[in-house]
Amino acid sequence: MESGDGVKITYVFVEAALELVPKELLSSRDVISSARRRGVDPSRMLLDISYHYRSMRRYLADWYKRGRPDIIHTSLLLLSSSPLWSHGLIDAVVETRHGLVFVRSGVRIPRNYNRFVSLMEQVLVEGSVPPGSENPLIYLVKKDLLEYINEQPLEHIVLLDEKGRKEDPSSLCKRIAMSRRSAILIGGFQRVEFSKRILSRGFERISIYGESLDTWAVVCKINSILESLLGVF
């Protein structure tokens, strides 16, 4: 299969563990301590289970599915390092509790984790990077993910889920590469399943391995196959 001209594939990180510290944790000791170390306002800081574990476990019922911005950082780094990204064939959308974060194709993701954290904090607080830009590189839209998907002219949508129908990743990628507009939905969290809200939507659920894989491992596997199929590597 040659050339990816006209093909656009959107990676959607569903229910991403990327959010600002929620209001119920703002006065907790570990949140205040980490905010002081960084010199930032707790309400403008990303929730991170590495620093806020005690408060999360005490006050958040779904703590085990939150506070992992590193998942999105690593996954976006993999995407942005791909020739597919520089050729404009793929882009990324991150579903957060604040809305949808759009990352324009071709944008360079900071390799340093701390810089990435600061960037995402700016996006979630200010709404875009650069703030107030008419053509931002990364920006937040306060829209429901399912509503967004319904509005897109997508020919193919697949939800990658270990409990889905087993399919060889090469076969799946061939189907995706044959479509003009596709969306690949991947969990952006660390544990348990997608919410009923996502599962009840009726997306095609596909398992490429049969067991749980890290989000970035899935991205790496799918992207490497697509690079070959679309003739960019």
Which domains, from first to last, does the chain contain? Answer: 8-17+68-229 (3.40.1280.10), 23-64 (no CATH)
| Closest by Cα among 101, 65, 106 to 85 | 106
- Per-residue pLDDT for 2 more than 60? no
Average pLDDT of the residues in 62-88: 96
Above 80 in pLDDT, residue 169? yes
User: What is the mean predicted confidence (pLDDT) over 56-61?
Assistant: 95
The rounded distance, in Å, linking the Cα atoms of 130 and 114 is 18
pTM over cut 0.85: yes
